[in-house]
Structure 1
Amino acid sequence: MAKLSRELHRYFCEEERADQIDLADFLELTKERIFGFLFVILSLPSALPVPAPGYSIPFGIVMFLLASQMALGAQEPWLPQRVRDHQLDLKKVQGLITKGVPWLQRLENLSRPRFSYICTSLGGRIILGSAIALMSISMMIPIPGTNTLPAIGIFIIGFGLQEDDGIICLLGLAVCSLALVVVLGILIGGFSLIDYLKDSLTNYSSFHAS
């Protein structure tokens, strides 16, 4: 099977394409291991060191749907036609591919099929799918700091699924665990700050009222 980085660059940066492409175009690149491929593609914009804005929520929703299906044992994903037909600007996609290919190549240099049962067994796919679903929910939270690390975890797991590399998938699970701790810390800290500000404003108002 051709390297994913090479296939992406060839398909979107070397061959002639329309100015607008849709998600169905991505599906032409693979007939097998399609879940992993889609997770890599959809998490990439938010997993970059400088995340591309505007992708986390819509792509998070799509990845949640995909992860739920994978966890339930589906072998092929189902996406609503409206999602499959969603238009993306080719220039933006090419920019994301150009930025993401070096990261893919680094993983490709480390990966090989090993401990494949983690990627292919029902139990493994339930665990991986559940982790991705949880990270997808985090990506939909419109708060800074809740997108990038979860997206990186999804990206790594997706790549592991694509390459049948159980070790890479376990690494992705570790990143997802770290992301969960970070996101919970941000949310708890944020709610605590809101409560503190509310109490401060209440006390301030009461003081001046008296």
Structure 2
Amino acid sequence: MTEGRTRALSDVLDQIESSAHGESIAVQEVVDKLGRKSFASLMLTFSLISTSPASAIPGVTAMVALIVFALAVQMAVGRKSVWLPGFVMHRQLSTQKLCKGIGWLRKPVHFVERFLRPRLQFLLHRPWFFLPLLLVLGLTLFMPFMEVIPTSGSIASAVIALFAAGLLTRDGGLVLAAMLLLSAIPVAVWYFGFSG
């Protein structure tokens, strides 16, 4: 069980890669591949896309913010199956850039997986679970504006990826790390957006 959870992140990358075909892939295909009940897997998938070089595609950060917002709201209200609006589900992603992003992510993901284990699991249950979830919701509201500030959108997506990875692997330590990293985002936005 523990070994399976620590491989959960690589498994998600494998599933995305196996669904990639043709010149582009629709968001709906990714959702169907991972399963409409896999909130954490879907949140991890799209936040990783926005963290990778694939985030260079105009509008990807804003799209990911919308998807993560919708997922977080549905998780908060206890919905059992994922719903996303049609215009999001029909959005096409470049297969080439998606696969390039997956390849770029594999090394850091393998590195992180070595340290994963179930811990601080109280953070994954109500009422504590609402704290990181509300922080993620707040973060997604600012992400569309981060596209104009280099790296800030990727940092935000990395925070969400850590949170989702913590849910997948039952590692509250990753959830805690996500909350700590969240404090670095205003600093990054200020530094890259307003310094010099």
| Counterparts in 2 of 1:79 and 1:18: CA distance versus 1, 3 Å | same
1:34 to 35, 38, 50: 38
1:73 and 1:126 in contact (8 A); partners too: no
- Residues matched between the structures, number: 189
1:2-81 correspondence to structure 2 within 5 Å: 3-13=7-17, 17-31=21-35, 34-48=38-52, 51-54=55-58, 55-81=60-86
Q: How much is the aligned-residue C-alpha RMSD, in angstroms?
A: 3.0
**C-alpha distance in 1 between matches for 2:37 and 2:168:** 5
CA-CA distance at 1:117 after TM superposition: 2.9
1:179 to 176, 179, 185: 185
Any idea what the Cα deviations from partners look like across 1:14-52, whole Å, max 9, x if unmatched?
677343322233234545972221222111233248953
Report the equivalent of 1:129. Answer: 133
Q: Determine helix, strand or coil for the equivalent of 1:123.
A: coil
| Counterparts in 2 of 1:124 and 1:9: CA distance versus 1, 3 Å | same
| Counterparts in 2 of 1:49 and 1:175: CA distance versus 1, 3 Å | farther
| Counterparts in 2 of 1:4 and 1:124: CA distance versus 1, 3 Å | same
CA-CA distance at 1:187 after TM superposition: 9.8
Q: Determine helix, strand or coil for the equivalent of 1:17.
A: coil
**C-alpha distance in 2 between matches for 1:178 and 1:9:** 26
1:71 and 1:127 in contact (8 A); partners too: no
Any idea what the Cα deviations from partners look like across 1:45-86, whole Å, max 9, x if unmatched?
332489533211111121122222223333443212332232
Structure 1 or 2, whichever has the larger Rg, is 1
Structure 2, unaligned runs of 5 or more: none
**C-alpha distance in 2 between matches for 1:60 and 1:44:** 12
Any idea what the Cα deviations from partners look like across 1:111-167, whole Å, max 9, x if unmatched?
122222312x12233212211112212211143143122111111111111111111
2:106 to 98, 101, 109: 101
| Counterparts in 2 of 1:14 and 1:81: CA distance versus 1, 3 Å | closer
2:132 and 2:179 in contact (8 A); partners too: yes
Report the equivalent of 1:160. Answer: 166
1:67 and 1:133 in contact (8 A); partners too: yes
Identity of aligned residues (%): 20
| Counterparts in 2 of 1:57 and 1:154: CA distance versus 1, 3 Å | same
1:66 and 1:77 in contact (8 A); partners too: yes
CA-CA distance at 1:173 after TM superposition: 0.8
Greater relative CO, 1 or 2 (CA 8 Å, sep 6+): 2
CA-CA distance at 1:94 after TM superposition: 0.6
**What is the TM-score normalised by the length of structure 2?**
0.79
| Counterparts in 2 of 1:164 and 1:33: CA distance versus 1, 3 Å | farther
1:135 and 1:151 in contact (8 A); partners too: no
**C-alpha distance in 1 between matches for 2:102 and 2:193:** 35
